[in-house]
Amino acid sequence: MKFKQVTLFGATGLIGGYLLKFLLKDSDIHLINLVGRKPFHLKHDKINNIVIDFEDFSSILNSVSGSELVFVSIGTTMSKVNGDKQKYKSVDFDIIFNIAKACKQKNVRQLIYVSSLGANSNSSNFYLRLKGEIDEAIAELNLNSTSVFRPSVLLGKRNESRPGEKILQLVMPLLDFIIPSDSKAIKAEDVAKSMLNNSKNYKSGFHIFQYNQIKNI
Average pLDDT over residues 22-32: 96
Q: What angle do CA 180, 181, 182 make, to 5 degrees?
A: 95
Q: What angle do CA 78, 101, 42 make, to 5 degrees?
A: 65
Q: Which among 39, 37, 9 is positioned nearest to 23, based on CA atoms?
A: 9
Report the 10 Å Cβ neighbour count for 160. Answer: 11
Query: Which CATH code fits 6-216?
Result: 3.40.50.720
pLDDT tier at 78, thresholds 50, 70, 90: confident
Q: Which among 208, 197, 186, 5 is positioned nearest to 114, based on CA atoms?
A: 208
| CA–CA separation, 187 and 107 (whole Å) | 32
Residue 37 pLDDT > 80:
yes
3-state SS class at 148: strand
The CB-side HSE value for 50 (13 A sphere, CA atoms) comes to 23
Which of 53-62, 109-118, 149-158, 207-216 is the least confident region? Answer: 149-158
Higher-pLDDT residue of 26, 184 = 26
Q: What pLDDT sits at residue 173?
A: 62
Instruction: Write down the pTM of the prediction.
Output: 0.90
Please give the distance of CA 144 from its chain centroid, rounded to a whole number.
17
| CA–CA separation, 177 and 170 (whole Å) | 14
Residue 125 pLDDT > 80:
yes
- Residues contacting residue 157 through CB under 8 Å, at least 6 positions apart: 14
Residue 191, burial from CB neighbour count under 10 angstroms (0-12, 13-18, 19+): buried
